[in-house]
Amino acid sequence: MLLLYRGEVFNANFFHNAGIDIDHSFLLAGGGQKTLLVSMMNEALARAKFRGRVAVYADAMKALSGRLRGRTVKFDASSMSCRMAAHIRKFCRMEDYSQELLTARAVKTPAEAAHVRRAVRETKGIFASIDWKAARTEEDLQKQLLMMTLERGLEPAFAPIVSTDANTAYPHYAAGAKKLGSLVLVDYGVRYRHYCADLTRCFIRDGDRKKKEQYERLQDICYFLADALPGLERGKDAAALAGELIAQAGFPKMPHAIGHGVGLDIHEFPRLGPKSDDLLAGATLAIEPSFYLKRYGMRYEETVWFDGKRARIL
């Protein structure tokens, strides 16, 4: 029996298995059947939208005890609070199933990949619509990105990373009041039907030839890695090839991985680190070659779908 809980915030594993997002709900799945336990407040929505059995609880622990007592239950330890898990352990045996849930989510269906593609296209549209005259500071540009997201009826996949000049040397920088200069880095993505995009672009505003050449080399590395995916099997294979390409381009070793899986969460399996045995086939991936110097840094990031045979930049 699998038990998943959706509390106050979105839970990707719950949504992936339930096919619906309803707060304060419990999903019980096993034996080819799914049951959704919901509060009375959410009963009407659950019965209208959920494909499975719906039961209403007045006391969640009492309802779970009646269904799970004495059983072995698989649960998502990464999203259930220790307090709730302690209560449930009083009447059943619990096994952490979080890694298996993440592994299952790594392989995307064509429909899921299409949602990621739509999120990517919306994000690229936002980048193309930046009003540079109105964006005087990092914070101005960050607000623009968020406003355009809301105007499109979407929501951010994560808080925009906007940095300029020396601040681009910090991979995860929080936008401030610094006036936009000759180099601007934007790392952002929106959600479409809960699926995320993750893109990074550098805008070289003074025509600096050296920076343009460096940025083109990062783009080449990104595209080469995407083309090479059919010949790679695991995350560590992508990491090894990326390390070689970064060194050949004359860039310093990256302080972060070459990328990561993207889907219902902005960072998910497969992992692309040097020790990762995660399989790549079927995944949507963010590939983000970069370098960071003392005076500035640059990063180029695309979201890619690798269906197991060929990779497509979305």
pLDDT digits (tens, 9 = 90+) for 124-181: 999 999 999 999 999 999 999 999 999 999 999 999 999 999 999 999 999 999 999 9
Say which CATH topology domain 2-105 has.
Answer: Creatine Amidinohydrolase; Chain A, domain 1 (3.40.350)
Sequence spans of domains, the chain: 2-105, 110-313
pTM over 0.85: yes
| CATH number of this structure's domain 110-313, picked from the four choices 3.90.550.10, 3.40.50.2300, 3.30.428.10, 3.90.230.10 | 3.90.230.10
User: What's the rounded Cα separation, in Å, for the pair 168 and 149?
Assistant: 23
**Exposed e or buried b for every residue in 234-249, given b needs 16+ CB within 10 A?**
bbbbbbebbeebbeee
**Sign of the four-CA dihedral 299, 302, 304, 309:** negative
Percent of the chain with pLDDT over 70: 100
Tokens of 128: 């193309």
Mean pLDDT along residues 96-121: 97
β-strand partners of 301: 200
**Model confidence at 119, in pLDDT bands (50, 70, 90)?**
very high
Tokens of 119: 């999120």
Residue 78's φ and ψ, nearest 5 degrees, are -75, -15
DSSP letters along 78-121, please?
Answer: TTS-HHHHHHHTTTSEEEE-HHHHHHHHHSPPHHHHHHHHHHHH
pLDDT in tens, 267-302: 999 999 999 999 999 999 999 999 999 999 999 999
